Structure 1
Amino acid sequence: MDNKYGGAHSRSAVTSYLAINVEPMLRDGRAREAVRNELVTAAAELHQLAGWMAYDTGHADVGRTHLRTALRLCQQAGDDGLSAEMLAAMSHHAAFHGAPESAVDLALAARQTAKRAGLPALQAETAVMEAHGLALQRDMQRCLAAMRDAENAFSEIDTADVPSWLRYFDGAYLSAKFAHTFRDLGRPQEAERFARRSLEMSAGYERGRLFNTALLASILADMGRPEEACAHGALAV
């Protein structure tokens, strides 16, 4: 529902379920360790969803609180992969809100954690998060090196080993992050190429298609092509 209709559609249902059902289970429930860890991990994933919903609807502080809670729960369950995913999300938030130093620090922590998890898809994602933060710092050399790391890790992905919570991370998603990174490096030609690739996405991600179409429109505007920019902006609307 979130991917199809956006965060505002279901956010109240998710936050109510967390407060009324999930938090009491975490606080008062009794279970074997393995079951407890599954519960904690599921709660972390739901806090992550709530965090993105809050972020997408302009409630940045609420989103950060959900992601910090999710990270704490992942660490409590000993799940390095999901911990790295939360750190990557926090890096994304920091980059979007104009805090590149925090974005890079969080991405580096995410990369270290992803390395322990041993998931190439996660290593690619965390590397491109670092690249975007470095682009905002105008550190081109380190940024391009991080992008190469992302490409190399992406080429090693075995889809059979990708966990369900990371299956959104595909070539279109990576292309969108590359487009953001090249745009912020001031290299619009490369940004346009990757923004167009980002629209070759799987069905069911209407929200992502909206974001990527708007991204392409902004890049075209930066390049002084207002008619094309307006056409893609209208399509996004």
Structure 2
Amino acid sequence: MADVGGHALCVAGELEADLRTVRRLYADRGRAPGQDRGGPRVEQALHTAISGLHSSAGWAAYDSGDNATSRLHHAAALQSGILAKDGHAQARAWADLSVQSRAEGRHREALTINRAALESRQARQDPRIAALLHSRLAIGHARLGDHGACARSLLAAQKAHDRFDTTAPPPPWLRFLDAAEIAGLAAIAHRATGRLPDAEKATAQALRLLGPSMHRNRAYYGIQLAQLQLAHSDTTSAKATAATVDTTAVSSPRITQRLATVHRHLATA
């Protein structure tokens, strides 16, 4: 997996919330008197809810290792966001599609998607969206070997983070994006450029900053820290780090497989 992204939230909870919204909106359509389909506002709200449902389902499929189904859901999320005329839903779908492309090895496609998303009105107006997209753009540049562009994108992400409006709650799908996640995404970029000491430092920072409820992110970055420690033959630290990784509250085959790989490497180190 390339980064945590929207996984930081409980996918099951998101799916249930989206399903409740869809059911309510369908009921509203049936009750609307004298209006075909319940009127344009209900129709657009319905498409927004369906877009969120597809986004959540896409991440659930991704976590289970089903990339094909995940991509279909993310594409459907974008289509529904367009039908809803909902810029935030579209931004979410574009951000998810960029991660999907990168995870499947299509790094230039991921970069193109990120750049296009950054030109949207939502990215220009919402520093949270901008920070997420710049962070993922940095990883894309790193994977393609453009270290200078990677550094510029990381700086842009940090500047966007500094503009977060902490007085207003973020949309549910962006609640995961905080200082810990910005540090974690920077660590992934540093690792991709071969700057392993910087990657280890940023990963440790992410773990320090993570809230107690972020079980999936803590497991993900704990495994990443152990991998980085293994990379420079610090077996003692890697063993200690891997021992602290708790996956009991995490329903992710990808996470458990990565942890199993770390333990296999430690057993032969």
The TM tier, using the shorter chain, reads 0.7 to 0.9
Of residues 42, 45, 54, the one that matches 1:47 is: 54
CA distance in 1, matches of 2:241, 2:146: 30
Counterpart for residue 128 of structure 1: 135
- Residues 146/117 of structure 1: CA separation in 2 closer, same or farther (3 Å cut): closer
Counterpart for residue 219 of structure 1: 228
Of residues 74, 85, 91, the one that matches 2:92 is: 85
**Two-structure CA RMSD over aligned residues (Å):** 2.6
TM-score normalised to structure 1 length:
0.86
CA distance in 1, matches of 2:51, 2:191: 32
CA distance in 1, matches of 2:186, 2:179: 10
- Residues 122/116 of structure 1: CA separation in 2 closer, same or farther (3 Å cut): closer
- Residues 145/80 of structure 1: CA separation in 2 closer, same or farther (3 Å cut): same
Given that 2:118 and 2:124 are in contact with CA atoms closer than 8 Å, whether structure 1 keeps it comes out as: no
CA distance in 1, matches of 2:235, 2:156: 34
Structure with higher helix content: 1
- Residues 229/41 of structure 1: CA separation in 2 closer, same or farther (3 Å cut): same
1:103 partner amino acid: A
- Name the SS for the 2:167 alignment partner: helix
Given that 2:95 and 2:133 are in contact with CA atoms closer than 8 Å, whether structure 1 keeps it comes out as: yes
- Name the SS for the 1:228 alignment partner: helix
CA distance in 2, matches of 1:115, 1:165: 14
Matches within 5 A, 1:44-193: 44-113=51-120, 115=122, 118-161=125-168, 162-193=170-201
Given that 2:51 and 2:80 are in contact with CA atoms closer than 8 Å, whether structure 1 keeps it comes out as: yes
- Name the SS for the 1:159 alignment partner: coil
- Residues 191/137 of structure 1: CA separation in 2 closer, same or farther (3 Å cut): same
Q: Deviations over 1:74-109 (max 9, x none)?
A: 111112222112111221222233221122111112
- Residues 165/69 of structure 1: CA separation in 2 closer, same or farther (3 Å cut): same
Q: Deviations over 1:161-194 (max 9, x none)?
A: 4223212111111111001000001001111111
2:186 partner amino acid: F
Q: Deviations over 1:112-158 (max 9, x none)?
A: 12555610010010011111011000100111111111111111110
Could you say which structure has the larger radius of gyration? 2
1:96 partner amino acid: A
Give the number of aligned pairs.
227
TM-score normalised to structure 2 length:
0.76
Q: Which moved more, 1:28-37 or 1:99-108?
A: 28-37
Return structure 1 stretches of 4+ with deviation > 4 angstroms. 114-117
- Residues 14/150 of structure 1: CA separation in 2 closer, same or farther (3 Å cut): closer
Identity of aligned residues (%): 26
CA distance in 1, matches of 2:220, 2:95: 18
Matches within 5 A, 1:15-54: 25=26, 30-54=37-61
CA distance in 2, matches of 1:116, 1:139: 23
2:219 partner amino acid: L
1:203 has 2:212 as partner: yes
1:173 partner amino acid: E
In structure 2, runs of 5+ residues without a counterpart are: 1-6, 31-36, 247-269
CA distance in 2, matches of 1:216, 1:179: 10
